[in-house]
Amino acid sequence: MSRPSWRFFGSLGLLAYGVLCLARFPNERERAMAVPRMTCEQMLQKGPGAGEYVTLTDVRLCRRGFAFWRDAMSPGDVDVFIPVYAAAFQQEPTPPDLVLLLEVQDSSDWQRIRDAEVVELTCQVHAGIGRVANWAQKDLAAKYQGLRLANLSVLTVGLQEPTMAKARSLLTHGIVASLVGVAVLIWLVWRRKASVVGSEQG
Same-domain pairing of 131 and 104: yes
pLDDT of 129-151, one tens digit each? Answer: 888 999 999 999 999 999 999 99
User: CA 202 to CA 106: how far, in whole Å?
Assistant: 59
Q: How far is CA 202 from CA 142, 196, 199, in A?
A: 82, 10, 5
pLDDT of residue 202: 55
Q: Quick check: is 101 in a domain? A: yes
The pLDDT assigned to 136 comes to 95
Residues 124 and 187 in one domain: no
The residue range of the domain holding 108 is 36-161
Which one, of 165, 135, 145, 26, lies nearest residue 95 by Cα? 145
The number of domains in the chain is 2
Count of positions (residues) in the chain:
202
Give ∠ CA 70-54-102 in degrees, rounded to 5: 30
Q: Residue 74's pLDDT band (boundaries 50, 70, 90)?
A: confident
Task: Classify 166 as helix, strand or coil.
Answer: helix
Phi, psi (rounded to 5 degrees) for 122: -100, 130
Whether 196 has a pLDDT exceeding 70, the answer reads no
